[in-house]
Structure 1
């Protein structure tokens, strides 16, 4: 595996690489990004000016899905490949609809864990787990209560060569 997103470059420990979770935070008008993330976001926008819109549309879709699932009685959510839970995301939508809702965010990138914990602080019984999708997904036990798993962001970020194989596991 290469250098994790947001990790210092091995040859120059003072330089931090842009991070896709923080770039998405920038496009969602969050405040958990830095200059390198903003610069990369602007470069991406030059090639794909529609990308920030798609990020916001995907986030709006997830909010609608969570709202619908809570209406159906689902109160526990496991969001795999979540990135930063910023901008009125799963835990906020679920808790607003049902204060007993619980959300666990899982992402492979350990550099965003502290910011994710800060973003969910004080909002109910929610958690953040590092370690990534494949290992966590394989250890999952059958639920005792009905749950839904959010894979939209995880599939979006998957390597094309291995996405199908991982989805079958």
Structure 2
């Protein structure tokens, strides 16, 4: 098993929005990457934890489980080849914090692609010693990470922006 992620990378934001046909890709995710908890026994290089709010602001419903699973699968597949000899670079714990999705334009492929983009951004942050930048498309080079839109069960805002 690879070494643990050397430092947390918190407040990662990934935007995969592509509208070339119907349906398009619409996947926005906020997440944190941390080393696995100390003393945790793991046989996987990537552990994905769901800390998503009960409702997503768009469209005022929970994130469909298939989208979260697709994100995790895309992340795991990409992470597994980013290290030396096309192996996982580190063991990592991914905590899904918030998401936005669309009833028509969101699909598993868009969330899977968002997972790939998140893996690349986290490894770049660790290698370059920098905080996360917005990742994905379309993202301007000078863009800032938007605050998480976390909602409570009654549909009111419940978050105060990205963690960390």
- Rg larger for: 1
TM-score normalised by structure 2 residue count: 0.27
As a proportion of its length, which structure holds more helix?
A: 1
Answer 1 or 2: higher relative contact order, Cα 8 Å, separation at least 6. Answer: 2
TM-score w.r.t. structure 1 length? 0.27
Whose strand proportion is higher, 1 or 2? 2
